[in-house]
Structure 1
Amino acid sequence: MSKTIKKIGVLTSGGDSPGMNAAIRSVVRTCAYHNIGCVGIYRGYQGMIEGDFKELGPRSVNNIINKGGTFLKSARSQEFRTPEGRKLAHENLVKEGIDALIVIGGDGSFTGGLIFNTEYDFPVIGIPGTIDNDIYGTSHTLGYDTALNTVVEVIDKIRDTASSHNRLFLVEVMGRDAGHIALNAGIGAGAEEILIPEEDLGLERLLESLKKSKTTGKTSSIVVIAEGDKTGKNVFELKDYVESNFPEYDVRVSVLGHMQRGGAPSCFDRVLASRLGVKAVESILEGKSNLMVGLLNDKIELTPLEQAIKGHTEINKELLRVSDIMSI
């Protein structure tokens, strides 16, 4: 890429996550620092197709570092999946004088950016924003740390009720394809058992664990379950199964759902977002494209977008062992 960059567009796409606003702020202010323009693209790729743009300057991103969600909004765009939709999006970018794109989102958002770059040779840099922490090439995605803290805080409250009534709580957390939230929050909240998609522990193992808890004197238990775990068809079927084998248990289900996505980002996510935003803009100015900025060994590193999309994150085996030991 040899063209001079005078204006960068930034958008958020897919599921929102705490820290997205902080990342937008970082992109806007880094652009201002380097004396180039920055345009906010509202509602992700759909806004790009509809030309929903707004010039952003340093003061337009005041007081958003502490806010969850994304003030640029997010949307899923079926139209952008078509060549016609992408052609219209490109025409709008050219008309606006936008020379490069920063996409804040997950693998679906990065896939759209990669296809767009292939078709139009348009510079794209990705910033990973998803609470599931399931993007290859970074140890932490934006929003993951905040989601963990939210889940632990909620489970702490649930434990108060579990202990008061001698109840077993099945707590479902987000993680359709990855168990990072369940595993880390489960250990942090002292869960008796943790069920994740990566480890098919099975119903018998769960019953054995609950039986052991009973014999060692535990009168209440918390089981944290990632939504993608297949121990039961769903958490409510799992509840019925446990009750049929342990009629003495008063089993309750708590599905945390979208409360995990919301809330003010943690200090960690705010700092990470600031670092990633600076690196994203400066990578574009250095002539780089088709890369994702991420955190590896506490350094901001670049990973090819294709690798970030196709690579698989690994569950921490040491944490699985720690979980087993702590649940005794």
Structure 2
Amino acid sequence: MKRIGVLTSGGDSPGMNAAIRAVVRKAIYHDLEVYGVYYGYAGLIAGQIEKLEIGSVGDIIHRGGTKLYTARCEEFRTLEGQKKAIEQLNKFGIEGLVVIGGDGSFQGAKKLTEHGFPCVGVPGTIDNDISGTDFTIGFDTALNTIIEAIDKIRDTATSHERTYVIEVMGRNAGDLALWSGLADGAETILIPEENYDMEEVISRLKRGHARGKKHSIIVVAEGVGSGMEIGKVIQEQTSLETRVTVLGHIQRGGSPTAFDRVLASRLGAKAVELLIAGEAGKMVGIQNNQLVSHGIDQALSIPHKIDQDMYQLSKELSI
């Protein structure tokens, strides 16, 4: 293999730039040429591809977002779109592709591999919802952004003796809600992986208020439902002054943490190693702080699971 490509796809996450940098420099170290694909699969179909040098990825390791930009692409979901993408890859002489993104991006990498074009996936999503890895690139940074926001909200909640409902991202995964809720001592954490009883939530708030508790923090994963609606129900059924904060896309931005920079660097370099070794259709990950690789199809077929011990602990500590 003499020439590889790299793209980012789907939602951006802090650390993607560090992963791009690792792919480019690891490849050049091994005497490979590297081409960057701009705007994900949409840019791949359109041929928005250019050669990257060592200097092309200088001064980006600390930056959020992605140098290669990202976009959704419905056309790539079709067989015709996938064939156009492969035509562009062949046109530029690219022999292997590193795809940095979430499960939708991995689906695309799987399709290209099935058509005979070797791909390796690098898990980049703040949701932490990819099986086969303990952590995805961007999760730690987003988590710390949430914690910082909740810390500040807690100050005003205390001052005004209010109940605050904080809605966080995560799509259909509750990791961001669970980890941030546990780290910030939330009274209740609602995640899509676990059913919840609104009466129990209300009862817990009333018990806390009765023993003199002045404020409460409730963290809601977006996959559960609307934080606004949950806040409305709490206000109506408890008569406690309730406010709702939807953190939104602030969670995706910002300079990546040291953890995400190191994770991205390790995973990006490992992806290049797999391509050089001829291992296509794989994803890289980290488990027990060791780099691992799995078949992308295997990772996509296994549902994401929450850490049940951590969830139980969050309930025990919030009595």
TM-score relative to the length of structure 1 = 0.96
User: For residues 256-276 of structure 1, what are the alpha-carbon distances to aligned partners after superposition, in whole Å with 9 as ceiling and x for unaligned?
Assistant: 000000000000000000100
Show the 5 A alignment for 1:48-59: 48-59=44-55
Deviation for aligned residue 1:30: 0.2
8 A contact 2:112–2:118 mirrored in 1:
no
**CA apart distance, 1:204:** 0.9
> 1:294: which partner in 2?
285
Alignment-derived partner of residue 308 in structure 1:
299
Amino acid paired to 2:206: K
User: After alignment, is 14-23 or 306-315 more displaced?
Assistant: 306-315
Indicate which of 153, 163, 176 corresponds to 1:158: 153
Gap runs ≥5 in structure 1: none
Query: Letter of the aligned partner of 2:219 in structure 1?
Result: V
**RMSD between superposed Cα atoms in Å:** 0.9
After TM superposition, give the deviation of residue 277 of structure 1 in Å: 0.9
Q: Which residue of 1 aligns with 2:227?
A: 235
Q: In the alignment, residue 215 of structure 1 is paired with which amino acid?
A: A
Residue identity matched to 1:17: S
Match of 1:62 among 54, 58, 62: 58
Matched to 2:59, the amino acid is N
User: What letter matches 1:212 in structure 2?
Assistant: R
In the TM superposition, residue 88 of structure 1 has moved relative to its aligned partner by: 1.5
* Partner of residue 87, structure 1: 83
Indicate the residue corresponding to 1:182 in structure 2: 177
Q: Secondary structure at the match of 1:258?
A: helix
Name 1:133's counterpart in structure 2.
Answer: 128
Work out the CA distance in 1 between the residues paired with 2:129 and 2:57: 28
Q: Report Cα offsets for 1:161-188 as digits up to 9, x if no partner.
A: 0000000000000022111000000011
The amino acid that maps onto 1:33 is Y
Of 8, 11, 14, 1:12 maps to 8
Query: Hey, what's the Cα distance between the residues in 2 that align with 1:118 and 1:197?
Result: 32
Distance 2:211 2:194 in 1: 25
Deviations 1:213-258 (A, max 9, x none): 112221101100000115xxx22221221111111x1100000000
Letter of the 1:186 counterpart: G
Task: Name the SS for the 1:284 alignment partner.
Answer: helix
Stretches (4+) displaced over 4 A:
none
Moved more, 281-290 or 209-218: 209-218
Q: How does 1:1-328 map to 2 (within 5 A)?
A: 5-119=1-115, 121-230=116-225, 234-247=226-239, 249-328=240-319
Equivalent position amino acid for 2:235 in 1: E
The whole-number CA distance in structure 2 between the counterparts of 1:13 and 1:284 is 19
Deviations 1:268-316 (A, max 9, x none): 0000001001110011101101000000111110011011112122211
Q: Is the 8 A contact 2:101 2:123 kept in 1?
A: yes
Deviations 1:127-172 (A, max 9, x none): 0000000000000000001011000000000000000000000000
SS at match of 1:175: coil
Point out the more displaced range, 84-93 or 262-271: 84-93
Tell me by how many angstroms 1:202 deviates. 1.5
- 8 Å CA contact retained: 2:13, 2:253: yes
Percent of pairs with identical residues: 52
How far apart are the structure 2 equivalents of 1:203 and 1:111? 36
Q: Which amino acid aligns with 2:209?
A: K
> Structure 2: how far apart are the matches of 1:244 and 1:186?
24
Aligned residue for 1:148, secondary structure, equals helix
**Cα shift at 1:15:** 0.3
Read off the aligned partner of 2:250 and give its amino acid letter: M
Mark the runs of 5 or more structure 2 residues left unpaired by the alignment.
none
Judge which range, 304-313 or 143-152, deviates more.
304-313
